[in-house]
Chains A and B, each alone.
Chain A
Amino acid sequence: SQQGEEDPQALSIQEGENATMNCSYKTSINNLQWYRQNSGRGLVHLILIRSNEREKHSGRLRVTLDTSKKSSSLLITASRAADTASYFCATARSDSSYKLIFGSGTRLLVRP
């Protein structure tokens, strides 16, 4: 079963707007990671946030983690058409650090 579930499944915004994607998970984790996948390509790592961190930034990306609610959010500010892709959260469970379990993803469309 999937550990992480993203919401929404699909998101369409205008260029320049902010995009927010959410991820919920079920069990205790060591860390949570966000990946991006362009159509037909492999996944590219965006950001990793550890269980003892609450917020992390990388360029136009901002990730938050709320372990009490078992949820995370990815914010992309000032979106660009090139941000069009699928975004996946992946969790590393506390009891199984070798495995990274992926959610089903959010498909983001940024309209020019």
Chain B
Amino acid sequence: NAGVTQTPKFRVLKTGQSMTLLCAQDMNHEYMYWYRQDPGMGLRLIHYSVGEGTTAKGEVPDGYNVSRLKKQNFLLGLESAAPSQTSVYFCASSPSPGGSEKLFFGSGTQLSVL
């Protein structure tokens, strides 16, 4: 039982490049989330999904897109990376709305945009 798995763990991009971060969970959770964490700060919600085929914007959605084609996977895309998107990205999942039950987190993806 792996829980929440994020790939890749590290990535360096040049400004303007695109990439996709993959989050996979094997707990059959309905709800999935993408957060970013900048140095000395808490987590900020980028996008979330309340079920397969659904996505919604969080606090800081600009510059990111997401897709939830399969229940177990939640993809985060950067179409044209900018230095301001240098951050650590965390995926999380929960069986119920994030506000009512705990979240299970992946180990993070450290992204640097040069």
* B34 proximal to A (CB < 8 A): no
Q: Within the assembled complex, what's the spacing in Å between the Cα atoms of A97 and B33?
A: 13
Decide: B48 and A98 in contact? CB cutoff 8 A: yes
B105–A42 CB distance below 8 A: yes
Q: Is B97's CB within 8 Å of the partner chain A?
A: yes
Whether the pair A45, B103 counts as a contact (CB closer than 8 A) is yes
Complex contacts, A96 vs chain B, CB 8 Å: 99
A13 at the interface (CB under 8 A from B): no
A60 within 8 A of B: no
The yes or no answer to B98 lying at the interface (CB within 8 A) is yes
* CA A28 to CA B103, docked complex, whole Å: 20
A45 to B4, CA, bound (A): 14
How many residues in A have their beta carbons less than 8 Å from beta carbons of B? 26
B-contact 0/1 string along A87-112, CB 8 Å cutoff: 01000110011111111110000000
Which residues of B pack against A, CB within 8 Å? 4, 31, 33, 35, 40-45, 48, 50, 56, 58-59, 90, 92, 97-108
Beyond the given A97-B100, A104-B40, could you list 19 further A-B residue pairs with CB under 8 A, ordered by the A residue number?
Answer: A30-B99, A40-B108, A41-B108, A42-B4, A42-B105, A42-B106, A42-B107, A42-B108, A43-B43, A43-B105, A45-B103, A92-B98, A92-B100, A98-B50, A99-B45, A99-B98, A100-B99, A100-B103, A102-B43
Nearest 10 Cβ contacts at the A-B interface: A92-B99, A97-B99, A42-B105, A45-B102, A102-B42, A100-B98, A102-B43, A104-B42, A43-B105, A97-B97
Binding site for B on A (CB under 8 A): 2, 4, 30-31, 33, 35, 40-45, 48, 88, 92-93, 96-105
